[in-house]
Amino acid sequence: EAGVVQSPRYKIIEKKQPVAFWCNPISGHNTLYWYLQNLGQGPELLIRYENEEAVDDSQLPKDRFSAERLKGVDSTLKIQPAELGDSAVYLCASSLGDFSTGELFFGEGSRLTVL
Amino acid sequence: AQSVAQPEDQVNVAEGNPLTVKCTYSVSGNPYLFWYVQYPNRGLQFLLKYITGDNLVKGSYGFEAEFNKSQTSFHLKKPSALVSDSALYFCALFNTNAGKSTFGDGTTLTVKP
């Protein structure tokens, strides 16, 4: 069974440029998460989808971040414009049901460096 | 507010010795607690969870964790460490009242031969 696939694995951009990350969850997983992981810290939730609906986006900085999961399958996270402080690893995860019901399956992450 | 604390950034043990990775939490209501492991250049992997019932839960790769409500702790343990257990371990909390999850900052476990 294929795991959660994220791309690109690495991205280097200059500040004020846009960037997009893509995630393909495990087939059949209705819940999809985007997390931000800063160096030396644990993952922090940015947004959670149940199917195509964003059910928790309270921690998503909506002035520059956006996300979509149009058909309830794969998802894109966009930053425009990027700032120096956005340098981090962006993790995508998926699960059957929500966080409480079982395990999350994580992708390998997309590491963003903003110069 | 809810929080997860992993008081040790680094834990070093010798192969064959028992290991403990500590986790304490703060939440109102009943928590669901989890441990995840991250190997270098890999995504986080689920190890085990506590939802309800027996305070001692067993998970993957011989790991277990004990839920202690009075001490608000959920320490990860293994009776005999392997070099291959060396990785970054995250404790996580799910607040059933608020529907929010929180991860700790991680503990790097190094098992030396």
Q: What is the CATH number of the domain that holds A60?
A: 2.60.40.10
Percent of chain A topping pLDDT 70: 98
Number of Cβ atoms within 10 Å of the Cβ of A33 = 26
Number of cross-chain residue pairs from A and B with Cβ atoms under 8 Å apart: 53
- Contact check, Cβ <8 Å, B43/A41: no
pLDDT for residue A1: 66
pLDDT digits (tens, 9 = 90+) for A70-85: 888 999 999 999 999 9
**Residue A25, token pair as written in the block:** 């969850």
Nearest CA in chain A to B108: A40
Domain that includes residue A48, residue range: 5-114
pLDDT digits (tens, 9 = 90+) for B46-91: 999 999 888 999 999 999 999 999 999 999 999 999 999 999 999 9
pLDDT for residue A31: 92
pLDDT for residue B95: 85
- Local structure of A85: helix, strand or coil: helix
Q: Are A78 and A66 in contact (CB under 8 A)?
A: yes
- Contact check, Cβ <8 Å, B90/A42: yes
Q: What angle do CA B75, B78, B84 make, to 5 degrees?
A: 115
Our CA-based measurement puts residue B104 at a distance from the nearest CA of chain A, in whole angstroms, of 5
- Contact check, Cβ <8 Å, A91/B34: no
pLDDT for residue A70: 83
Q: What angle do CA B29, B20, B109 make, to 5 degrees?
A: 110
Report, as an integer, the average pLDDT of B11-16: 98
pLDDT at residue A93 tops 70: yes
**Residue A110, token pair as written in the block:** 């997309």
- Contact check, Cβ <8 Å, A42/B94: no
Q: Contacts of residue A23 in chain B, CB cutoff 8 Å?
A: none
pLDDT for residue B29: 80
pLDDT range class, residue A102, cuts 50, 70, 90: low
Task: Name the residue facing B105 among A3, A4, A41 (closest C-beta).
Answer: A41
Task: Name the residue facing B42 among A103, A104, A108 (closest C-beta).
Answer: A108
Q: How many domains does chain A have?
A: 1
For the domain covering B3-112, report its CATH number.
2.60.40.10
Tally DSSP H helices, then E strands, for chain B.
0, 12
- Contact check, Cβ <8 Å, A42/B34: no
pLDDT for residue B1: 83
Q: What is the CA radius of gyration of chain B?
A: 13
pLDDT digits (tens, 9 = 90+) for A34-91: 999 999 899 999 999 999 999 989 999 999 999 999 888 999 999 999 999 999 999 9
